[in-house]
Structure formats: C-alpha cells, structure tokens
A and B are shown apart, each in its own frame.
Chain A
C-alpha cells in the first residue's frame, strides 16, 4: 500500500484533467536520459523482481508521459518517484495474488534455503537475501531507507524529493533503520536455525 503522505504530486489514474492531451517527445527523451537509471534502481530496490523491472519501468514512463504535462521541470524526479511507488506497490500486490503466474522467483523461500552469513559473500545470494529482508518493511518506510542507505541521498534531499518535513523524514529514517536491523537479526536467527541438523 502506497502511503499517500509520500505523494509529492498525486497521480490519480482516472483523473482526465491530469492527462496530457499530447505527449511531448522531446520531454520524454529528456526524462529517459535524466532519470531512467534512477527509476530502474528504485523499482528494483523497492521490491520489483529483477526480471520484471524492465516492464515496470515501461509502465512508469507510460504513465508519466501522459501526466507530466503540468509538472515543473525541477519536480520531475519527485513526480517520477511517486509513480515508481505506485508501480512497485502494484507489482508486489500482483505477485502475492498470483504466485503461480509470478513464478517461484518471488517466493525464494520455497526454492532455496536461507543462506548463512558466510554464503552472503556471493553477491547474488546476498541480493536475494536483501530482497527478503527489505520486503518486511512497509513501502513508505522502505522508500526512505532505500533512498538514504542505498541511493546515498541526505535527509534533506529525501525531504525535498518526497515533499515531507525534515523532521518526518528523520523519524521515518530512524524507524526504517531499526526495522531493518531487527529484520536482519530475525533473518540470521532463521538462517542459523535452518542449518541446524
């Protein structure tokens, strides 16, 4: 569920007033050149499986191209991030509802056992483990965690991107880090328990 408090620029799918009548090709190319890599990373880090990120990024830009008309250039990234949150949320919901269609990749617990800390040296194993741990965080908290810890943004930059007060970002960041540490501890306990004969 996307926390609407995160929304810097609301995206209402059924709202015709926000839909651009014409798509500006030059602006679309500009959006891609400036933000594609950022969008890809955030989709992936917010829980979209790797094999689905390309499709999800296509969705983000399809929606954005139709609705970005009234958005000021300096707010483009914030707007795109809001769309990313929505698409990531949809992707997670779809995977939960359609496990057979989504495939086993979304349910790694069914496919392989939890790796031990030693096995995390393998980056692919670690990435899969991180997906499982971060999936335990609510999306609004996860977004702030990802932007700070992985994207390297400052609290002030996050506040600006999400149009939140710095105090709100600071408290959510504290919460996200606490939850992450708890999830890692829980994960390690489960992994060690799973390895016992």
Chain B
C-alpha cells in the first residue's frame, strides 16, 4: 500500500499548512503526566500505590524541580492558591499519609491543575463509563469523603477538604443534577465560610444556577463576581457564559 503525500509535505496551501502545524505543537503541560498518574494510581490502588513507589515514573519521576516549575507558574496566578495547593500536593503525592482524599485532590488542587482549570467540563461521570460493576467506585468514595462530617484518623488539610468538596459539586453538575449541586454548594459554604476557593465556589454556583434554569439569579451573581474579582482568571469564562446566554435569548 503506498501512502498519499501528506498535506504538510506538498505545500497544500498556506491555510492548510498553518492549520495542521498548529496541532503538531500540541502537548501536555508541565507535570500533567505526574498528576494524572498520581490520581489514577491512588484511585485504583490506594495505600498499595505508595508501597509500589507512589507516582514515580523512574527517570520521569516528579522531582523538586518539577514542583518548583509548577509553583512558579501558579505564583503568577495567585501566590495564596499556589502555596495552599502545594500543601495539598504533598498529601496527594504521599498517599500513605492520607489516602482517603488523594484521588479527588490530585485532579483538582489548583497548584496541580493546568493554568486554566477545567471547572466543570471534561471528566465525565466515571460510574457511567465503567458501569456499576466495578468495585470501589471513585465517585462514591469522593461523595462519602465530602459528606462525611467525622474527622478521619489522619485528617487532610483544610484546603484538600475544600477541593474535595468542590470536586463532588462538579461531579453533580456533570451528571446534570443541578439541584444536588446547589445543595452541596450550600453545605460547602457552611463548612468553609472563609474558604480559599471562594471564586471557584462562586463560579460553580453560577453554573449550577444556569443549569437549573434560574438564569436571573445566575446573571446577578455573575455581575457580583465580576465586580468582586475583576481580574480573576475566571472572569473571562463568566463573561463568555453570560454572552452565550444573552445571544440565546435574543
């Protein structure tokens, strides 16, 4: 079988070449591989993961330099969040210290997340994908962890708990359960009245309200958010959501 000449090898036109070149430079951002490996390993193996060497990938293993690079990136976005996240990162990368909260945290801790965190979209409901037959549903574990009021033996950091709580809200939103998400957000606000992730919480509340059909309240909260956090990295996303809503209503 002889292959045709690729578009990129035949000067198929400037536009085509540029379009295809744009995809060739794609790649995961710094530390993504370690984050995903940590989350998957801890979700599947729990404490056993630590016994096998944790999330180390041999020559690719996470080192101090990688953490410093990630931290450096996040310093630009907010030193407070980055430092808090690094604290939670330690718990994630050492599952033996607090295995119960590691999977959710590993995905969502801001310092471990990409510069533009996936607020809601993306991680489809795992239960739906793997079916109900797999033992130890991660989502169930995460829900229990977030809803459990009793302090575990080795209590995770406050930020890690906050992250886990919001992760459950995201799961509910992805499953199109807006009312559950709103109820969990109300509980979250009671549990973390001075939470460090207030902007993320507000954004999730706006999205939950939009999903529930209460677009008037969502718009009001969005305006408050933009006033309160005019330079937040989420402001653009909120403006886009509001613009989309307005265009639909026209």
Q: Which residues of A does B touch, CB under 8 Å?
A: 13-14, 16, 19, 23, 25-26, 28-29, 32-33, 36-37, 40-41, 44-45, 48-59, 61-63, 65-66, 86-87, 90-91, 94-95, 97-107, 110-111, 117, 120-121, 123-124, 126-127, 129-130, 133, 148-150, 152, 154-156, 159, 166-167, 169-170, 173-174, 177, 180-181, 184, 188
Contact = CB atoms under 8 A, between A and B. Distances in A.
B81 interface: no
B133 A14 contact: yes
Contacts of A100: 207, 210-211, 241, 244-245
A126 B133 contact: no
B6 A148 contact: yes
Contacts of A98: 121, 174, 176, 211
A127 B23 contact: yes
B124 interface: yes
In terms of DSSP, what is the predominant structure of the interface of chain B?
helix
Given A36-B28, A169-B1, 17 more contacts: A19-B133, A29-B52, A29-B53, A37-B27, A40-B28, A48-B122, A52-B123, A54-B28, A98-B121, A103-B121, A103-B237, A103-B241, A104-B241, A127-B23, A133-B19, A149-B7, A177-B4
Given A25-B45, A66-B130, A149-B7, A61 B40 contact: yes
A61 B126 CA distance: 12
Residues of A contacting B: mostly: helix
B131 A14 contact: yes
Between A97, A100, A102, A120, the greatest number of chain B beta carbons within 10 A of the residue's beta carbon is seen for A100
Q: How extensive is the interface on chain B, given as a class?
A: 35 or more
B91 to A, nearest CB: 18
Nearest to A152: B6
Given A32-B37, A100-B211, A123 B25 contact: yes
Interface in B100-136: 107, 113-114, 116-124, 126, 129-134
